[in-house]
Amino acid sequence: MALTGSSWKRVLSAAQQVRSYSAPADRSIPAAKQKYVPSSGTYPKGFLVGTSHAGVKASNTQHDDIAMIVSEQPCNATAVFTHNLFKAAPVQFSSRLLRDRKSEAVRGVVVNSGCANAVTGQRGLEDARSMASTADACFGDEATTESPSTLVMSTGVIGQRLPMDKIATAIPKAHASLGSEHEDWLRGAEAICTTDTFPKLISRNFTLPSHPDVQYSIAGMTKGAGMIHPNMGTLLGIICTDVKIAPTSMRRLLRYASNKSFNCISIDGDTSTNDTVALLANGAAAPENTTPLEYNDDQRKISPALRTDTRSEDYKAFQTVLGTFMADLAKLVVRDGEGATKFVTIRVQSHADYFLAKSAAESIATSSLVKTALYGKDANWGRILCAIGYAPAVLDRERHIKAQRKEGFSKERGSGHDTKHVRPIDPSQTSVSFVPADGSPELKLLVRGEPENVDEERAKQILDMEDLEILVKLNDDGSQTAVEPDAGFREAVVYTCDFSHEYVTINGDYRT
């Protein structure tokens, strides 16, 4: 039968949807993404990484899909998890493990890709425990059988059971391959990938004020390209450091850094069932008798107005290192968004309130209309204003602020200010601009509620760039000090990407 005109169009359209921004079947790294893959690194003392092939997903016949990241000696650890109601079995298991062990004496993490072990009932929990026990057994510690010491992470298709016979065989092989070289870490980052187009791995050195002659290291790997949105850090991530940290302070440090990094990214507005970001610290580089980094909670019952900052200089220094490090790691996830062609920074400034700014930024980042316009290189800034107008904190400011505070935004983060005098958004004092990545002048689209005569050719040039910033001022009174230098909490930054045809193609056949 001869094809009709409309049939030919559909055939040609399908042929044109080449996956130039998604992971090739052979897992080769696209040329445009190779610049994000490190060729070397400096890794924390006492941590080892190993991988092996289990074939968790039937179509994977050769690539490693099991990874172990472990400390040579039991270490302190913590993690933040998804807020999704249908928490995957590894999330439930690892959360309970950390609670039972009080963040102490943890061996490391075992990860599988290809199957999420999510919504798998009691059998899923048993499989997660089995993965941990199998990993523990590799260290010859039989006592851990009743009290596992290895965290478990899984990623992949939801609603399917793990092939535990394959995994049970593969975990000892991963343990046998443990190493501390850059190639070992890179293989680990590759093994946890699903639709990622490149392995996401960062490492760096730093010092602490009390002993600047000692070099510490921090390294982290993460995976994620779709189903990415705040409410923890929507993906998998493992961060290791050889700093000595008190177990009671691990979670506070990680929550602080997560709120400045993984909770500031969004690809598609979907929060996964498996999100887990773990922080492990073994103190292997710390000099003998070094005091662990610790946050003093003694002032919690004191009036906020009378509290003083009791954090040590070392604690504050590491807090900054961790926050910056995790932000850089999180940005790699956005750069690898499924089908994404652009990395977009959304910066929202507010005279009045950080939560208002954050809600507006997230609303812009999750707007399908904004994201498709960016993909089409269409300077349709009206969609940005529309997204601001229906942001949760804009519609119900007080309830949103209380909800955010309940989730851990503390005065330490810079948000402890009186909300009684928070001003609502005034459309006549709202401005929007595109800020080019090449350092050239910003392109003003809306100035204090009045539309500008936009140079469409200039707008297209900016939207042609891989990196773009959208700048929004919610309380623009015309002054140059809309955001005071010491009032950083009033500026919210969210990182996102565009929506392309390819995003639909990737997710339309994800299971197969």
Question: Is it the case that residue 51 has pLDDT exceeding 90?
Answer: yes
Q: Distance between CA 497 and CA 331 in Å, rounded? A: 10
Question: Is it the case that residue 19 has pLDDT exceeding 50?
Answer: no
Least-confidence region, from 72-81, 250-259, 493-502 = 493-502
Helix axes 121-137, 164-176, angle to 10 degrees: 20
Q: Name 348's bridge partners.
A: 472, 492
**498 Cβ contact list (under 8 Å, min separation 6):** 340, 341, 342, 344, 371, 372, 374, 375
Average pLDDT, the chain: 83
Find the angle CA(22)-CA(334)-CA(232) to the nearest 5 degrees.
125
Question: Is it the case that residue 461 has pLDDT exceeding 80?
Answer: yes
Burial (CB < 10 A; 0-12, 13-18, 19+), residue 418, is exposed
Higher per-residue pLDDT: 350 or 326: 326
* CA 320 to mean position of chain CA atoms: 17
Write out the catalytic residue numbers: 234
Cα torsion 170, 175, 177, 183 to 10°: value is 100
Query: What is the per-residue pLDDT across 98-130, written as a single tens digit (0 to 9) for each?
Result: 999 999 999 999 999 999 999 999 999 999 999
Q: What is the pTM of this model?
A: 0.83
Query: What is the per-residue pLDDT across 243-255, written as a single tens digit (0 to 9) for each?
Result: 999 999 999 999 9
pLDDT tier for residue 498 given thresholds of 50, 70 and 90: confident
- State the DSSP code for 243: S
Burial (CB < 10 A; 0-12, 13-18, 19+), residue 410, is middle
Q: Distance between CA 257 and CA 71 in Å, rounded? A: 22
Which tokens in the block code for residue 12?
């040609």
Helical H segments across 102-240, by residue range: 121-137, 164-176, 182-191
Question: Is it the case that residue 52 has pLDDT exceeding 50?
Answer: yes
pLDDT tier for residue 16 given thresholds of 50, 70 and 90: very low
Which tokens in the block code for residue 154?
């899984």
| Assigned architecture for domain 35-335 | 4-Layer Sandwich (3.60)
Question: Is it the case that residue 208 has pLDDT exceeding 90?
Answer: yes
Pairing relationship of beta strands 343-349 and 491-497 according to DSSP bridges: antiparallel
Class of domain 343-508 as given by CATH: alpha beta
Domain parsing of the chain, residue ranges: 35-335, 343-508
